[in-house]
Amino acid sequence: NGERMKELKKAIKNSIPNCLSETHLDSTIPALSPRIRGKVRDIYDGGEYLILVTTDRQSAFDRILASIPFKGQVLNETSLWWFHKTQHIIPNAVISSPDRNVTIVKKCSVFPVEFVVRGYLTGSTDTSLWTVYQKGVRSYCGNTLPDGMMKNQKLAANILTPTTKSDDHDVPITPEEIVQRGLMTQADFDAARKAALDLFAFGQRVAYDHGLVLVDTKYEFGKGPDGTVFLIDEVHTPDSSRYWISGTYEERFRNGLEPENIDKEFLRLWFKDRCNPYEDEV
């Protein structure tokens, strides 16, 4: 109701000064290496392990837009839940979580590829499937797309659209190019691709059981010293994934309306309506 919404908005506003936007663990724990600052996570090298601190920073369009109270806790605990639920598909690098914002993980050799899996033709960023489809692209990251599809339409089957990992801008790449450029061996790529598609199918089933559609997501993988391929980074969070409300999707799609979502797509759309989100000051 209206009063409850007012209370929530007030609580959020009062919490803004408490956002975890920056961390400096290396200044208080001498054994740690200097911080590596990612878009959302701060990483510290502890020798045989890494400390990942999920901050409240909000990223989109390859930049930091704002900080949102408690967002880091939501992301970290969501990932931990999914890491636990998906161990039957692929092992993960998690060792422990001593704090709601912190996860300690095994050190891996990280593959420089993001495994983006998509179940629907949608998106608003430069590399989104709908954006490139609108431009007439029908062959994308090794996948062939048919003519005549509509925005937000379900694909005939889930597809993998990998990108190279970059600090500035992720670049789409085909599976063949990944191997040819030496980014991964064929065996490692095949293992990661199978894991990504299996993870996504499992995530879709779990999401549907809870009234949601897992639309698309990204996975990252690394390799341990013994050659084991691990799932790393985050899993099925609202930062790395799109989620729609399943109960209203079909009707809204038929009527040409955007799906109801509970991810950061609303933020992307808000910025795109008001500025060039890649270049303008925010």
Q: Where are the alpha helices (DSSP H) in the chain?
A: 2-15, 71-85, 129-134, 175-180, 186-209, 246-254, 265-274
Q: Where are the domains of the chain?
A: 2-107, 110-274
- pTM for this one? 0.89
Question: What is the structure's pLDDT at 214?
Answer: 98
Three-state SS at 269: helix
Q: Give which of 246, 215, 223 is closest to 117, Cα–Cα.
A: 215
DSSP E strands in 101-170: the ranges are 102-106, 109-110, 113-121, 139-140, 143-144, 153-160, 163-164
Q: How many CB atoms lie within 10 A of CB 235?
A: 24
Each residue of 110-160: pLDDT tens digit?
A: 999 999 999 999 998 888 899 999 999 999 999 999 999 999 999 999 999
CA atoms within 13 A on the CB side of 282: 21
Each residue of 162-214: pLDDT tens digit?
A: 999 876 678 999 999 999 999 999 999 999 999 999 999 999 999 999 999 99
Average pLDDT over every residue of 34-61:
93
**Class of the domain covering 110-274:** alpha beta
Average pLDDT over every residue of 213-219:
98
Contacts of 234 (CB under 8 A, 6+ apart): 54, 75, 78, 79, 220, 240
Question: What is the structure's pLDDT at 167?
Answer: 63
Secondary structure letter of residue 258 according to DSSP: P
Question: Does residue 95 carry a pLDDT above 70?
Answer: yes
Question: Does residue 50 carry a pLDDT above 80?
Answer: yes
Share of the chain above pLDDT 90, in %: 74
Each residue of 21-31: pLDDT tens digit?
A: 999 999 999 88
Residue 281 or 93, more confident: 93
The H or E element containing residue 222 is strand 212-223
In the CATH hierarchy, which fold is given to the domain comprising 2-107?
A: Phosphorylase Kinase; domain 1 (3.30.200)
34 close to 26: Cβ distance less than 8 angstroms: yes
